[in-house]
Amino acid sequence: MEVRHHFDLKGYNTFGIQATAEYFAEFSDLEALKELITCSHDKNLMILGGGSNILITHDISGYVLHNRMVGISVVDETENHVYVCAEAGTVWHDLVMYCVSKGWGGIENLSLIPGTVGAAPIQNIGAYGAELKYSFFELEALHLSDLKIHKFDVKGCLFGYRDSIFKRACRGKYVILNVTLRLAKHPVPNTSYHSLQKELAALRLPSVTIKDVSETVIRIRRSKLPDPKQIGNAGSFFKNPVVEKDKFLFLLKGFPNMPHFDMGDEVKIPAAWLIEQLGFKGYREGDAGCHVDQPLVLVNYGSATGPQILNLSESIIRKVKQSFDITLEREVNVI
């Protein structure tokens, strides 16, 4: 087990931000993780997965531990469901593809979401009418203080919109080790999301399978979102804001074409639309900018620093607040 000093993290975050970790090590099993945690007891500790949902704004003091624990296994099954456990370092999309290939349904709408399995419950990842919580069964996490393994079920995770207990009360207190999903053996494809429904209808398929859903989601995502290998980014930088219906009706008077999604007493408004109305689509400050096709995605055109991208995001938040009286929340974790 090698601990490296002053390690460059540029290749370990999808923004491609230049930053240095004081100490860096990788772990591929529980005992190695425990040993590293013990070694770092008097220093800061950061667990790194795919680096696809972070913006690093400074060099990292202390230890950065990269999770390399991978693997997928079936831990239980019934007549109608299969319980699939994936190690936290497993690439999320690899897990989705494995389950789709087996005909197990529930996470196909979450195809091509970047990152690792361990990050999925922290964010309660969601896309195209689905969220992780609908297929989630439980997870195991190692407590950093006592090195004991704790289990969290759906209720224990306190899932919300791109939110969980691991972003709040348990932030920085646990390392997620694995996640178990409850998937359908005889799935009914979820085609409720409008753009997904539209794309599938255009294919004129006699019947829609979860494989069709997955392939369509992948096609849509690739057409809308830039590849981090080509241009640095962390996907959607902001959450779509949710406002009370009365406030939305007031906004609608000034912006009659404002797109929205009804949620009972609340309304979700696309953050991308708000940002585009203010002229940020394709906007650029040096090498930090908003993508030319998707203003919700902030990008690093080459040598942008974390603070430069953060400053751009703060400018967007400020102007959206001034124009719409809506406060955007970052989906990306700022470090």
Q: What is the CATH number of the domain that holds 282?
A: 3.90.78.10
Q: What is the arithmetic mean of pLDDT over 59-82?
A: 97
pLDDT of residue 95: 99
26, 45, 67: which is the final residue of a domain?
67
Do 246 and 316 sit in the same domain of this protein? yes
- 83, 176: one domain: yes
Two tokens at 122?
A: 């922290």
pLDDT score of 264: 86
- Range 64-93 average pLDDT: 98
Residue 276 in any domain: the answer is: yes
Residue 12 lies in a domain: yes
Q: Is 104 found in the same domain as 33?
A: no
Catalytic residues: 162, 236, 331
Average pLDDT over residues 82-91: 98
Share of the chain above pLDDT 70, in %: 100
On whether residue 142 sits in a domain, the answer given is yes
Number of compact structural domains in the chain: 3
Same-domain status, 81 and 156: yes
Q: Does 177 fall in a domain?
A: yes
* Same structural domain, 78 and 176: yes
With 90 as the cut, is the pLDDT of residue 41 above it?
no
- Expressed as residue numbers, the domain containing 60 is 4-67
E strands in 198-331: 232-236, 242-244, 261-263, 266-268, 284-285, 288-290, 297-300
Tell me, yes or no, whether 90 and 152 share the same domain: yes
Residue 178 lies in a domain: yes
Burial class (CB in 10 A: 0-12, 13-18, 19+), 253: exposed
324 phi and psi angles, rounded to 5 deg = -120, -5
* Sequence-ordered list of residues with C-beta below 8 angstroms from that of 1, at least 6 positions apart, any chain: 25, 27, 32, 35, 36
Does residue 312 fall inside a structural domain? yes
pLDDT tens for each residue of 246-270? 999 999 999 999 999 898 899 999 9
Instruction: State the DSSP code for 109.
Output: G
In eight-state DSSP terms, residue 283 is -
Identify the domain boundary among 67, 92, 114: 67
pLDDT at 42: 81
3-state secondary structure (DSSP) of residue 322: helix
CATH code for the domain of 149: 3.30.465.10
Q: Does residue 306 carry a pLDDT above 80? A: yes
Q: Specify the CATH number for the domain of residue 53.
A: 3.30.43.10
Phi, psi (degrees; rounded to nearest 5) at 300: -110, 110
Q: Roughly how many angstroms between the first and final C-alpha of the chain, as a whole number? A: 26
pLDDT at 1: 74
> Do 126 and 149 have their domain in common?
yes
**Do 330 and 306 fall into the same domain?**
yes
Claim to verify: residue 61 and residue 85 sit in the same structural domain: no
Residue 300 binned pLDDT confidence (cut-offs 50, 70, 90): very high
Helix (H) or strand (E) holding 177, with range, is: strand 174-184
| pLDDT exceeds 80 at position 313 | yes
Percent of the chain residues topping a pLDDT of 90: 94
Residue 152 lies in a domain: yes
Tell me which of 210 and 161 has the higher pLDDT: 210
Same domain membership, residue 170 and residue 84:
yes
Are 84 and 158 within one domain? yes
Edge to edge, the sheet with strand 20-27 lists 4-8, 20-27, 60-67, 45-48
Do 268 and 169 share a domain, yes or no? no
Flag whether pLDDT at 178 surpasses 80.
Answer: yes
Asked whether residue 206 is assigned to any structural domain, the reply reads no
Strand order in the sheet with 81-87: 72-77, 81-87, 174-184, 136-143, 149-153
Last residue of a domain, one of 159, 184, 209: 184
